Amino acid sequence: MVEYQANILDRVFAAVADPTRRAILASLARKPATVTEIARPFPVSLNAISKHILVLERAGLIRREVVGREHHCSLDPAPLRKASAWIAHYRNFWNVRLDALERHVIARKKRAERMHGRSDRRDE
Amino acid sequence: MVEYQANILDRVFAAVADPTRRAILASLARKPATVTEIARPFPVSLNAISKHILVLERAGLIRREVVGREHHCSLDPAPLRKASAWIAHYRNFWNVRLDALERHVIARKKRAERMHGRSDRRDE
pLDDT by position in tens, chain B (length 124): 456 666 999 999 999 999 999 999 999 999 999 999 999 999 999 999 999 999 999 999 999 999 999 999 999 999 999 999 999 989 877 776 666 666 777 877 888 888 776 555 444 3
Averaged over A33-49, what is the pLDDT?
A: 96
The nearest alpha carbon in chain A to B30 belongs to: A93
Q: What is the rounded CA–CA span in Å between residue B50 and residue B97?
A: 42
Q: What is the rounded CA–CA span in Å between residue B39 and residue B114?
A: 62
Q: Which residues of chain B lie closer than 8 angstroms to A9, CB-CB?
A: 16-17, 19, 22
Q: Residue A48 — pLDDT band, cuts 50, 70, 90?
A: very high
Q: What is the rounded CA–CA span in Å between residue A7 and residue A13?
A: 10
Q: What is the rounded CA–CA span in Å between residue B104 and residue B106?
A: 6
Report the pLDDT value the prediction gives residue B100, as an integer from 0 to 100.
66
Tell me whether residues A10 and B17 touch, CB distance under 8 A.
yes
Q: Which residues of chain A lie closer than 8 angstroms to B94, CB-CB?
A: 77-78, 80-81
CB-based contacts of A28: which residues, under 8 Å, 6+ apart? A38, A62, A73, A74, A75
Is the pLDDT assigned to residue A39 strictly greater than 70?
A: yes
Higher pLDDT, A99 or A83: A83
Report the pLDDT value the prediction gives residue A113, as an integer from 0 to 100.
83
Report the pLDDT value the prediction gives residue A123, as an integer from 0 to 100.
44
Cβ atoms of residues B22 and B42 within 8 Å:
no
Q: Which residues of chain A lie closer than 8 angstroms to B78, CB-CB?
A: 94, 97
Q: What is the rounded CA–CA span in Å between residue A89 and residue B77?
A: 10
Q: Which residues of chain B lie closer than 8 angstroms to A56, CB-CB?
A: none
Report the pLDDT value the prediction gives residue B52, as an integer from 0 to 100.
98
| Cβ of residue A16 closer than 8 Å to a chain B Cβ | yes
- Nearest by CB: B97 against A13, A77, A86: A77
Higher pLDDT, B3 or A47: A47
Q: Is A91 helix (H, G, I), strand (E, B) or coil?
A: helix
Q: Rg of the Cα trace of chain A?
A: 25
The nearest alpha carbon in chain A to B23 belongs to: A6
Q: Rg of the Cα trace of chain B?
A: 25
Residues A107-119: pLDDT tens digits? 788 888 887 765 5
Q: Is A65 helix (H, G, I), strand (E, B) or coil?
A: strand
Report the pLDDT value the prediction gives residue B124, as an integer from 0 to 100.
39
Is the pLDDT assigned to residue A1 strictly greater than 70?
A: no
* Other C-beta atoms lying within 10 Å of the C-beta of residue B86: 22
Averaged over A2-9, what is the pLDDT?
A: 75
Q: What is the rounded CA–CA span in Å between residue A120 and residue A114?
A: 10
Q: What does each C-alpha distance from A100 to A5, A94, A105, B57, B90 come to in angstroms?
A: 33, 10, 9, 22, 30
Cα of B120 to nearest chain A Cα, Å: 39
The sheet that has A62-67: what strands, in order across it? A33-34, A70-75, A62-67
Report the pLDDT value the prediction gives residue B22, as an integer from 0 to 100.
97
Higher pLDDT, A68 or B123: A68
Helix, strand and coil percent figures for chain B, each rounded to 5: 70, 10, 20
Q: What is the rounded CA–CA span in Å between residue B70 and residue B50?
A: 13
Report the pLDDT value the prediction gives residue A112, as an integer from 0 to 100.
82
Is the pLDDT assigned to residue A124 strictly greater than 50?
A: no
Tell me whether residues A10 and B25 touch, CB distance under 8 A.
no
Is the pLDDT assigned to residue A90 strictly greater than 50?
A: yes
Higher pLDDT, A89 or B59: B59
Report the pLDDT value the prediction gives residue B109, as an integer from 0 to 100.
81
Report the pLDDT value the prediction gives residue A88, as an integer from 0 to 100.
92
Phi, psi of A16 (to 5 degrees): -90, 5
